[in-house]
Amino acid sequence: MAKGSSNHITSCTISWQNTGDTVRVVTKVLQTEIQVRFYDGDKLISGRIWPMSEQQKQELYSILYACLEDWDCDDYTVDASDSNHWQFKICTQGSCLRTVCGTTVPPPHGAEIKKILTGIIGEDNCYFF
């Protein structure tokens, strides 16, 4: 997919939830920072913001553009014994380009995304896939 003005990625959001509990973690990647917020139900428990370098942004956003091309379905749910669920949204300034969801299996490029994000925010704050 070409990086035209109609599909210029400006953010992505990964929501992770343990459906057995009310715990939910929302990781939002913006142009210059990554925000991680922990919720108990709808109540915000804590949050933190990490700056993202231009190099990290370019590497991550390059993978996000590949995701738009390579994600072949919208649901990566597999039968699993745990009750974890994730949702991944890639967005432009005014709309959502793609939303996929799943349980324990990451979508294509998920491991690459997790590696980059873990390098920025640390393993303790990575709740997805």
- For the chain, the domains span 7-122
In angstroms, rounded to a whole number, what is the distance separating the alpha carbons of residues 50 and 23? 21
pLDDT at 12: 97
- Per-residue model confidence as pLDDT tens digits over 27-72: 999 999 999 999 998 899 999 999 999 999 999 999 999 999 999 9
Q: In terms of Cα–Cα distance, which of 17, 13, 25, 27 is closest to 98?
A: 13
In angstroms, rounded to a whole number, what is the distance separating the alpha carbons of residues 70 and 67? 5
CATH class of 7-122: alpha beta
Query: How distant, in Å, are the alpha carbons of 72, 82, 98 from that of 9?
Result: 19, 32, 10
pTM above 0.85, yes or no: yes
Sheet holding 11-18, edge to edge: 43-51, 33-40, 23-29, 11-18, 84-91, 96-102, 75-76
